[in-house]
A and B are shown apart, each in its own frame.
Chain A
Amino acid sequence: MSQTITIDPVTRLEGHGKITIQLNGQGEVENAHFHVTQVRGFERFSEGRPFYEMPSLMARICGICPVSHLIASAKACEAIMSVRIPHTAAQLRRLLNLAQMVQSHALSFFYLASPDLLLGMESDPKLRNILGVAAAKPELGRAGIALRRIGQSIIELLGDKRVHPGWVVPGGVTEPLSPEKRDKILAMLPEAYSSVGLALGAYKQIAGTFQPEIEVFANFPSNYMSLISEEESIDLTDGALRLIDATGKIIEDGITASRYTEVIGEAVENYSYTKFAYYKPLGYPDGSYRVGPLARLNIVKSMGTPKAEKELTEFKQLATGPVSSSFHYHHARLVEMLYGIEKIEEILADSRILDKHVRATAGVNRLEGAGQAEAPRGVLHHHYKVDENGKITWANLVIATGQNNNAMNRGVLQAARHYVKDGKFTEGVLNRVEAVVRTFDPCLSCSTHAFGQMPLVISLLSADGEVVDRVARD
C-alpha cells in the first residue's frame, strides 16, 4: 500500500512551500517533491505599463532581495534605451547590491539556518529558532543582528529606504553619493568585519560535526551557473554568464543578457508554481543546474579581495573539483559576506564614487531588452518587450529559485531516501528534509511573509487517506 508524507508548510524559508514524500508498499521512499504553492503574476500584470516604471514595480516582487530585481530590471530597460550608464552609477549600484547580499545572507545564516547548525538538527523544535540561538550563543545572535542592520543601513543611506529603494532607475541612479554618507558607511565596516569573522570561525568549528548531513544534503554532481567578471572574479552586478559541468569544465562562457535565451530554457511540472530552468543544449532535466553562493564559488577563479580570497582557497579545498554538497551553501554565504564588506570598502576608497554624473537618459531605441544580475540566491534575468510607445507588451523573469528547483527536489528525495526508514519518521528526520531546502535559501513569496503563526503538520496517509502517523508542530 503506497503512502504519502506531507510537510506543509516548510518552515524557516522565504515564503511558503510544502514537501511530499511518497512511500511504496514496503515503506521505502519512492519519490519526493518540493512544492511552491503560491502563484505570483508580475510578468502578466506589468503588461501595458511604461517600461521606465518596471524597476520600481519589479522590486515589489521581493522584500529581501528587491535590489537585485531593481538592477536586473533597470539593465533590461537600458537595453531598450540603448544606453551605457556612467561608471559611477554602475559602482553605486554595485555598492547597493553588495549591501543587500550582506543583509540577506545574514538573515539566511543567522535567522533561518543557525538554529539547525548551532543547536542541532535533533534539538527541541520549540527552542530551535532565533530565540534559542540567542539564549545559547548570544555573541552570534548579536553578530547576525549587526550584519542585518549594517546591510540595511547602507541600503537606506544610498536609496533612502531599507526595503524597496527607488534609487535605481533606467539610466543609472537618481542621486549621487555624498561624502557624509560615504563616511557613515565606512564607519560601519569594522563591526561588519568582526561580526562575519565571528560567524566564519563558529561555522568552521561545527561544520565537521555535520558530515552525515553533508553526505546527503543535495550532494550530487550537477552543472553550475553564475555571472563572472572578465578577470574571472566574482561579480554580482555585471559580468557575463558562465556555466560549468560537474567536473568544473566550462561548457558556456561570456553569455550576455541579450543571449540568455540561447542557453536557458524553462520547464513546468504539475506539482509546483515555480518553473524549472535548464541548460537548453542538454534539455530538461539533464540540463538542470545550480545557482547562488555555492555555484558562484565553484565557478570563480578568485574573489578579488584579499580576505575573501583566502577563504575561497580554503573553500575550494573541500573537494577536488566543484564542491557538490548543498550543505556548503552555508559556508559559501559566509565567504560572500566577507567579500561584500571588503568590496564595499574598496569601492568607497575610490574618489570617483562621489562623481555627480550618475544618470544617462534616452527614450525607446529598441523594442526588446534583457538584463541580468546576481541576487543573493543566484543569477536573475529580466526580459521585456515594448511597443513603439515604450509600453510593456511581454515580460519574462528567470529567478534563482527556479534555477535551483530541480536540485532542491533531487536533494529532498536524496535526504528522504536516506532518513525515512520503514515508513516511519521522527521530527528530527522531518527537520533534516526541510533543512535540505534551507541550504538553498529559496525565496518563494519574496515580498510578502507569513501573517500569523506557521503551524506544521506532517501526516503519513495510506492510499485510502487514512492517517497512519502524524507529527505536529504548533
Chain B
Amino acid sequence: MANTARCLILACGNTLRSDDGVGPKLAAWAEERFRQESEVRVISRQQFTPELAELIAAADSVLFVDSSASPPPGRVRLLPVSSRVESSTAPPSHHLKPSELLGLTRSLYGSIKSHAMLLTVGIGSTELGETFSAPVEAALPRARGILEKAVLRFLGR
C-alpha cells in the first residue's frame, strides 16, 4: 500500500507543451513550500492514471492541479470535486478525470475524501515549448496563493 499523507497534491501536465506544464510548475513550487510538512505529499504526472487511486485512498484530502482549456488564459479556479462519475461517457483507459479517479478510489478502497478540490489555470497555448504564455505567467502568483491557502485549510490551519 502507498505511503500515507494527510494532504495529497496531485498535479498533471506536459512540461514540453507550453502552458500545459502549469500543473507540474505549481507542483514543483508546492514541493518546496511544503518541504518541511510531513503531512503533505506532492506528486506530478503527465496524466491522472488509474493507479493514483491507491495514493488518494491513503490521504485525507486531495488537491488536483491541472491546466484547463475552457476558461480564458490565466484564469485561476478552485472547484470542489465529487466522486460522482457521469454515466454518459466511458473513460479512456490510461487517464482519468479527477472525479473519475475519486470514483475509482471509492469503488476500490471504499475511501471517501473529506476534501477534494481541483485547481485549474486557463491556458492559451499548448505548442511545443517550455515557456508559458504571458497570461499564464502572470497568473502564477495568484495560483500559488490559492494552492497554499487550500492546503493549509485541508490541514486545519
Contacts and interface: CB of A to CB of B under 8 A. Distances in A.
Interface of A: 11-12, 111-112, 125-131, 134-135, 138, 141-142, 145-146, 148-149, 152, 449-450, 453-454, 473-474
A148 B96 CA distance: 16
Given A12-B93, A112-B93, A126-B89, A134 B108 contact: yes
- Which of B85, B87, B93 lies at the interface centre, i.e. has the most chain A CB atoms within 10 A of its CB? B93
Contact of A129 (B2, B47, B90): B90
B89 A453 contact: yes
Interface stretch (B48-56, B71-79, B144-152): B48-56
Contacts, number: 68
Contacts of B107: 131, 134-135, 138, 141
Nearest to A113: B93
Contacts of A125: 90
B109 interface: yes
19 contacts: A111-B50, A111-B94, A112-B93, A126-B89, A130-B93, A130-B104, A131-B91, A131-B100, A131-B103, A131-B107, A134-B103, A141-B107, A141-B108, A145-B50, A145-B53, A145-B54, A149-B51, A152-B51, A453-B89
Contact of A134 (B88, B94, B104): B104
B33 interface: no
Contacts of A111: 50, 93-94
B35 interface: no
B90 A450 contact: no
A183 B76 CA distance: 44
Contacts of A141: 104, 107-108
A145 B47 CA distance: 16
A450 B95 contact: yes
Contacts of A129: 90-91, 93
B63 to A, nearest CB: 21
Interface of B: 2, 47, 50-51, 53-54, 85, 87-96, 100, 103-104, 107-109
A149 B100 contact: no
Given A111-B94, A126-B88, A130-B93, 11 more contacts: A12-B93, A126-B89, A129-B90, A130-B104, A131-B91, A141-B107, A142-B54, A142-B109, A148-B50, A149-B51, A450-B94
Contacts of A142: 54, 108-109
B45 to A, nearest CB: 9
A217 to B, nearest CB: 19
A142 to B, nearest CB: 5
- Which of B54, B87, B104 lies at the interface centre, i.e. has the most chain A CB atoms within 10 A of its CB? B104
Contacts of A449: 47, 94-95
A14 B53 CA distance: 21
Nearest to A474: B89
A36 to B, nearest CB: 18
Contact of B92 (A127, A134, A138, A453): A453
B54 A474 contact: no
Contacts of B104: 130-131, 134, 141
Contacts of B47: 449
Contacts of B95: 449-450
A428 to B, nearest CB: 15
A104 to B, nearest CB: 12
A126 B87 contact: yes
B2 A149 contact: yes
A12 B95 CA distance: 11
A131 B103 CA distance: 8
A129 B53 CA distance: 15
B56 to A, nearest CB: 11
Contact of B88 (A131, A145, A454, A474): A474
